[in-house]
Amino acid sequence: MSGLYVSKDDLKKLSETARQELLALCIPGLRYKEDEFPDGENTGVAVDLSSGQAIELVKGLSDKSRTALVHAIKILETADQNSKVGVWCGDIAKKMNIEVEDLRGVWSGLTRRTRRVTNNPEARLIHWLNWDYDREDYFGFIHPTTVSNLKRALDM
């Protein structure tokens, strides 16, 4: 799989038009706005968890967090080749028969665990992008190595 990594800081350096065009290539319909996540709420990148870190992360997960993670990985596995690096929050919620808002605690809990496991205060298991106005949903990226290691840790 090939790809391009652009940090949030580098993305900010681009013109609004360039940001929109770049993101539209990756995820049709996604729009980027700097003010969507005030106070640095959307900082950090999706981490590359080692096998041991993935095992530590899934140890003691609540049923809801484990289920959300399993659904995220399954969605990634069945996604077409162009969207294999990320997942829509709404798709996970739909699989769980809940509302997107009901996953808020799951994501914050997984972020706290990821930061503890990696000893990195900026680490994120899923790097959520800004709100997609066309789809009315969030799109999140998960590092491919992390996905592989989580699959093993979750016995998938």
Q: Is the pLDDT of residue 54 over 90?
A: yes
Residue 39 — pLDDT band, cuts 50, 70, 90?
very low
Say if CB 113 and CB 39 are below 8 A apart.
Answer: no
User: What pLDDT shows up at residue 57?
Assistant: 95
Those residues with Cβ within 8 angstroms of residue 32's Cβ, 6 or more apart along the chain or in another chain:
11, 19, 20, 23, 129, 130
User: What pLDDT shows up at residue 96?
Assistant: 96
Residue found under tokens 């003010």: 35
Range of the domain at 82: 43-153
Q: Is the pLDDT of residue 41 over 80?
A: no
Assess if residue 13 is contained within a domain.
Answer: no
Residue 1 — pLDDT band, cuts 50, 70, 90?
very low
Assess if residue 28 is contained within a domain.
Answer: no
Assess if residue 56 is contained within a domain.
Answer: yes
Those residues with Cβ within 8 angstroms of residue 67's Cβ, 6 or more apart along the chain or in another chain:
96
Q: What is the mean pLDDT of residues 102-110?
A: 91
User: What pLDDT shows up at residue 140?
Assistant: 86
As a whole-number percent, the residues of the chain with pLDDT over 90 amount to 36
Q: What CATH number has the domain bearing residue 80?
A: 1.10.10
Residue 62 — pLDDT band, cuts 50, 70, 90?
very high
> In the chain, how many domains are there?
1
Count the helices and strands in the chain (H runs, E runs). Answer: 7, 3
Helix (H) or strand (E) holding 140: strand 139-141
Assess if residue 37 is contained within a domain.
Answer: no
User: What pLDDT shows up at residue 77?
Assistant: 80
